[in-house]
Amino acid sequence: MIQRKLNQEIYFSCNMRYGVLTRQDFKLMKKAGFRMLLYGLESASQKTLNMINKGVTVERIIKETKWAAQAGLEPHLTIMVGYPWETRKDAWNTFRLAKYLFQKGWAKTLQVTIVMPYPGTRLFKQALEKRWLKTLDWDEYDMTKPVMKTPLSDKDVELMARRIYQLFFTPQYIAHRILNIRSLEDIQFIIRGLRKVIGHIKDFSR
């Protein structure tokens, strides 16, 4: 990509997994023309990370998000709420981790969805065995409402999703985005992102 000078013509984005790259790898990706890295953070609960086979620690998540940002890349975090074994404390810890990464300016964007046990997955099998499922109406499996029993109420799960999305409107996050504007394209990118965030908040406010 560098030799062919593609990095001078277009930006690249890609899905990324925590626990596989070094600080130098991130610097090379930036040089090669990468911009956004989509990470599955999922949860701040180490128990959850272990149960879903992420193969990474919370400490490593923080470190790699920092490395990527310091290299000039833009980490995008995907977060899940409503795991059937997670407590209110677990959910708040996930919120706090997302807030910390945003306040530091290391996470640039994020998205939140409610955990879905889709057929064919290990979680679906567990949900059947442990009787976690509340419905088998597939129209309900759109990631905007809980379909499994959890220690939290449905309203609390949806509220947590909204709270995480509202991190986009904190003074610290807004300041970081403004200070990092370098072009008209950056402004357009932010505007498109905010429109999506507002739409997602509405999804969890039905």
Distance of CA 26 to the CA centre of its chain: 19
C-beta of residue 186 within 8 angstroms of C-beta of residue 178: no
- In three-state secondary structure terms, 50 is helix
| Top-confidence residue, 192 or 25 | 25
pTM exceeds 0.75 for this model = yes
**Predicted confidence (pLDDT) at residue 157 exceeds the cutoff of 90:** yes
Domain boundaries, the chain: 6-203
CA distance 91 to 46: 12
* pLDDT band, residue 12 (cuts 50/70/90): confident
What contacts 192, CB < 8 A, 6 or more positions away? none
pLDDT in tens, 57-101: 999 999 999 999 999 999 999 999 999 999 999 999 999 999 999
pLDDT in tens, 181-204: 667 776 776 666 666 656 656 666
> CATH number of 6-203: 3.50.50.60, 3.30.750.200, 1.10.10.10, 3.10.20.30?
3.30.750.200
